[in-house]
Each structure stands twice: as C-alpha cells, then as structure tokens.
Amino acid sequence: MRVVVDASVVAASLVDPGGWTARELARTDVQWFAPQFLREELEENATRLSGFAGCSREAFLRRVRSLTHVELVSPEDLAAAEDHPLVAKAATVDPDDVTYLKAVVAVRADYLWTRDEGLLRAFPGLAVLVVPE
C-alpha cells in the first residue's frame, strides 16, 4: 500500500514522537511518501518550528531525521503531476494542499493520510483519517 502523508500527520508525529502516529509511520508494510519540500521546510526552519513541537532545535531535527520510512517525492516528480484533475480540484479547495495532491498523483498513492477536514471532505475515499484501533 502506498500512502502520502500530509503536514498534519507529520506534525502529529513530531509533536509526540512516541505517539501512535509516529509509530504508524515506522511501519514497514506500508510505503510512506511526502513531498521533498516538506522535509526542506522542516530542516531549514527547525529553530522556529521546534517551538511548536515543544522541544529544542536539536531534538526537533532528531525527530525529523527519525522519519526514515517516509520517502520524499522530488520537485521534478511533483511538477510532472501539476496538470492532473485531482491537483486542479485541490487548488479550488485550498491552494496550500496542492503539493500533497501532486505527490499522490506522482507516486500513484492509494491514500492520502491527513487530519485536515477540508481534504477529508473534498477527497472522500482518497483522503483518509486513520485512528488508533
């Protein structure tokens, strides 16, 4: 199964690295994907973003680097997906979600795992909210 994770899921795993979301992201029976831009944002703004996660910059970067099972979707692959209808639809819902839909198209993902209500409503069946059993 191929799953793209969005900012909300990555944020949950960074705020609580021992929590359920972080443990799910360590599963090896699922192929996880996220846009490379997300990783760049995390690393280049670690000082500012670590405040949201409630930890030091160093601890934050350790948490980011522990997401080893999440494969990054390159800017080139994202660009190749920009004319897809799913991407066009995302632009009408929230332009800031476009990158994640590009990633879905680029890697032919089965699901987009998100906590974002807008995405869940706009893409039923594709965007899913996974909750602990």
Partner 1 sequence: MASTKVTFEVPAELRELMKRYPEVNWSAVFRDALVRHSRLIEAARGILAEDEDRRILELSRELKRGTAERDRRAQHARRR
Site map 4..23 versus partner 1, x via CB under 8 A: --xxx-xxx-xxx-------
Decide: is 79 part of the binding site for partner 1 (CB under 8 A): yes
Which contacts of 93-96 are long-range, i.e. CB under 8 A and separated by 24 or more positions?
Answer: 93/118, 93/119, 93/122, 94/118, 94/119
Contact 24, 69 (CB under 8 A): no
As beta bridge partners, residue 112 has 4, 127
Decide: is 82 part of the binding site for partner 1 (CB under 8 A): yes
Contact 75, 36 (CB under 8 A): yes
**Window of 22-30, 31-39, 105-113, 122-130 that interacts with partner 1 by CB under 8 A:** 31-39
Decide: is 96 part of the binding site for partner 1 (CB under 8 A): yes
Site residues, partner 1 (CB under 8 A): 6-8, 10-12, 14-16, 35, 37-38, 40-42, 45, 48-49, 52-54, 75, 78-79, 82, 95-99, 102, 115-116
